[in-house]
Structure 1
Amino acid sequence: MAEIVVGVDNPGVPVTSPFIIVLTAAEEAVLTARARSGRTEHRDRLRARIVLAAAAGATNAAIAVELRVCVDTARRWRRQFATERLDGLADRPRTGRPRRFTAVQSAAITALACTLPAETGIPLSRWSSTELATEAVTRGIAETISASTVRRALTRAVIKPWQHRSWIFPRDPNFETKAARVLDLYARTWNGAPLGPDDYVISADEKSQLQALRRRHPGRPAGPGRTRQVEFEYRRGGTLAYFAAYDIHHARVMGTIAPKTGIEPFTDLVTHVMSCEPYASARRVFWVVDNGSSHAGQASIDRMNTTWPSATLVHLPIHASWLNQVEIYFSILQRKAISPVDFADLDALAERILAFQDRYNRAATPFDWTFTRRDLRALLDRIGPPEQPSTLTTAA
């Protein structure tokens, strides 16, 4: 129904409001969803309830009483919906406080942040927001500027030079070729032909320098409001190496313990695996390894072929251990069975490693490996060739 108000110029004379709300089915659905949703902003929920009440015939005064808002608020959102529909319930753009620093000043500060401090004679490896603010004033970029203003300006910048991460560029000229054939094996393909049911793929490596550290005092278990506490000081009990072979398609781990890494302990691992079924009678067993000294170079391939004719050693390119699936298992072992380190001696450490291996094998499933040749190509395209340092030549 139309709203009846008392006229100001003619007291006692009722005036009918022109803003009569009639909703379409779609508008009613949207407004009802906004009004009932607990995730909707309070202001949007309130405006939806005002319009729904107006569509039901309530006056602005009644809406104000029901929703505990002033009459002007009810009148405003009734009017804006009547004239602009759902778009009228959105906030208008606000100009906000005028900017104190120009775009040129912000660009100058960003350019300063992109410059290493050492290049300007300042003994710092990188800038902090406070140091940037001080340097901006020193250079006359701004008369005064706070560290928080610098932080906001740099947060909006596309380039963030204060962030860094380490990486190694693939320097093997045949990186893609070597990595791709390993990815093919993971997809059960070799030289363009699918692997058969009696072909197996083993990912192998060693986890070296595992220390048997014994804490000087017992740890404290977690309690209410207290996390588990581990003693900082420890006694060294020596180191050992864990050699593991992971059957990537059957999620089976086979491992051996050795005092240190080397060709001999790796040979023992290969013998341990190739002497048991199904690998002893398999047609082919592919061993994926990195370039560690225990299994590096053509000599390691020749040793493998001579001792085990059905085995093929496949080397990853240099700095590509992240493509070796056994490294995922090593990460799980470290997190679940070793850290935080606290073992009485090397025997206790070895026992824990092999016991976890047995436990893992009882319930393991193959890793959901999704990195393919196409992903490799996209990664190498994104990295691009390494930048070469510029050289200066002088005329004779």
Structure 2
Amino acid sequence: MPNPKAEPVVLSEEEQRVLLAWSRRRKTAQALAARARIVLRCAEGGTIGQAAADLGVSRDMVSKWRSRFLVGRLDGLSDEPRPGRPRLITDDRVERMITKTLEETPGKDTHWSTRSMASATGLSQSAVSRIWRAFGLKPHAVETWKLSTDPQFVDKVRDVVGLYMAPPENALVLAVDEKSQMQAIDRTAPILPLMPTTPARMTHDYVRHGTTSLFAAFDVSSGSVIAQHYRRHRHQEFLRFLKLIDAAVPQELDLHLVLDNYATHKTPQVKNWLLRHPRFHLHFTPTSSSWLNLVERWFAELTNRKLRRSAHRSVTALEKDVRQWTNEWNANPKPFVWTKTADDILDALTAYCGRINDSQH
């Protein structure tokens, strides 16, 4: 007979559902699954002894988790936090170390290392490393930045970003640039292939076999690319590339080209040709703002997925390899979606400039 003094285990529909899920799921921790089965069995009625016999566990185990559930419900079935080793480094010592990291330098050195900070604070190198990681501090790392001084920066940002986010009707927006000085290089020894536990390996030194330039026009809407190699990088080659674009794109479409401020894009010969081809409209990015040109993102894909780990014994071989890779890209093109509005970009730059000015005081 059940103990008349024992509080009965009554489950809500939600508790019943959760406990059944815990008891049945294979990925549930076995200890939690066992506790869930104990509570479900107790909810069916009977004595603690009967529940223990049915489940093949001890009476003490059933009594413990039955009581824990009645007090804390589902939360009561989780393990209680266990006392651990007390902290040896106080908050004051952590604060002093963080302040020293941010506001001081170690003598004539430009930045702290774990060894120099450990020596200065009396902490271990591992403790210094843990605290730096916890606060996201990397004294050894430095990043470079450059702000455009273009007097028309705001207008150009709004113009280019507006093309990306709201392209004109009956028009094609092409991000155009040249990847110049592409080197055909060959390693001084064969590249060793990938093996279990061993990455692919190549020699650090290499032999140069000449350079080429890749002119590319990235279709912002579809992700497809018009590309052509030229051995030189002058306004003559740029004009030849414009003519290639003109022949490749249907005549009924206007062409809006996003370009940088390179001199070959603005020669009198180029301007005269554009006057005779009014469907071409050039939009220039601000100076020092190559990040605004989406074709640079495609060049990064080309570099990371093809050029960085390739070896070529001639410029012709390099051009053929890049041409094949580009054809494969165009067979399944992927556009890069621009998400930041012009206001977002300008607000972020304004905030960044504010931080720079504040750091100088």
Q: What corresponds to 1:218 in structure 2? A: 190
2:257 to 268, 273, 287: 287
Q: What corresponds to 2:173 in structure 1? A: 201
C-alpha distance in 2, partners of 1:204/1:43? 61
Where does 1:13-162 land on structure 2 (aligned, <5 Å)? Answer: 18-57=6-45, 59-61=47-49, 70-92=58-80, 96-117=84-105, 120-123=106-109, 125-137=110-122, 145-157=123-135, 160=137, 162=139
C-alpha distance in 2, partners of 1:174/1:203? 19
Structure 2 stretches of 5 or more lacking a match? none
**TM-score normalised according to structure 1 size:** 0.78
2:161 to 174, 183, 186: 183
- Distance of aligned partners of 1:178 and 1:216 in 2 relative to their CA distance in 1, 3 Å threshold: same
- Which of the pair has more CA radius of gyration? 1
Contact 1:251 1:365 in 2 (8 A): yes
- Distance of aligned partners of 1:150 and 1:358 in 2 relative to their CA distance in 1, 3 Å threshold: closer
Contact 1:212 1:341 in 2 (8 A): no
- Distance of aligned partners of 1:348 and 1:161 in 2 relative to their CA distance in 1, 3 Å threshold: closer
Structure 1 stretches of 5 or more lacking a match? 4-15, 138-144, 190-194
Q: What corresponds to 1:12 in structure 2? A: none
In terms of fraction of residues, the more helix-rich structure is 2
- Please give the secondary structure, in 2, of the residue aligned with 1:236: strand
- Please give the secondary structure, in 2, of the residue aligned with 1:387: helix
Give the superposition deviation at 1:204: 0.6
**TM-score normalised according to structure 2 size:** 0.85
* Count, aligned residues: 360
- Distance of aligned partners of 1:338 and 1:149 in 2 relative to their CA distance in 1, 3 Å threshold: closer
Matched, 1:347 2:316: yes
Contact 2:258 2:284 in 1 (8 A): yes
Q: Which has the higher contact order (CA 8 A, sep 6+)?
A: 2
C-alpha distance in 2, partners of 1:334/1:97? 50
C-alpha distance in 2, partners of 1:376/1:390? 21
After superposition, the C-alpha distances for 1:262-289 in whole angstroms (9 at most, x for unaligned) are: 32322221122124441xx346321101
After superposition, the C-alpha distances for 1:225-264 in whole angstroms (9 at most, x for unaligned) are: 5544444443210111111122223433222222232323
Contact 2:48 2:63 in 1 (8 A): yes
Where does 1:168-179 land on structure 2 (aligned, <5 Å)? Answer: 168-179=146-157
After superposition, the C-alpha distances for 1:195-217 in whole angstroms (9 at most, x for unaligned) are: 232x2222110111211112333
- Please give the secondary structure, in 2, of the residue aligned with 1:317: coil
Give the superposition deviation at 1:66: 6.4
Q: What corresponds to 2:2 in structure 1? A: 2
C-alpha distance in 2, partners of 1:374/1:54? 62
- Distance of aligned partners of 1:53 and 1:365 in 2 relative to their CA distance in 1, 3 Å threshold: same
Give the superposition deviation at 1:54: 1.9
Contact 2:23 2:33 in 1 (8 A): yes
171-180 or 93-102: bigger deviation: 93-102
Supply the AA of the counterpart residue of 1:288: V
Q: What corresponds to 1:325 in structure 2? A: 294
C-alpha distance in 1, partners of 2:346/2:46? 65
C-alpha distance in 2, partners of 1:268/1:275? 11
